Amino acid sequence: MIQIFGTKKCRSTQKALRFFKDRGIETQFRDMGIKPPSPGELDDMAAALGGCDTLLDLESPAAKEKGLAYMDYNSREELLLNAGLYKTPLVRAGKGKAAAGLDENAWKTFN
């Protein structure tokens, strides 16, 4: 099963949900505003994508408000503290397979 982490208002998340629905692939949606990824889920996705920095959206309103572009920080700690910093959607297809953001090419490999 494919897990999709995002928010209901995120257009990229909606595109991911539609992408898998159109292909008849079962998904589990998790609203990160209600329940963000656990530390274990974060570590698994980060390992699949090359580190926590790949999950961080420096263009997000939360990142701009915090001023991340102008400070030193630990990406993992910041992501665990603020779900608004993630690139969405986060798509996870089992252990070791993940994609961050709107990445249909990666999603096609999850079938």
CATH number of the domain at 63, please: 3.40.30.10
Cβ atoms < 10 Å from Cβ of 47: 13
Domain assignment of residue 7, given as a range: 2-108
Q: What is the pTM of this model?
A: 0.90
Sheet (strand 90-92) strand order: 27-31, 2-6, 90-92, 98-100
pLDDT, tens digit, 9 for 90 and up, residues 28-53: 999 999 999 999 999 999 999 999 99
Domain count within the chain:
1
% pLDDT > 90, the chain: 89
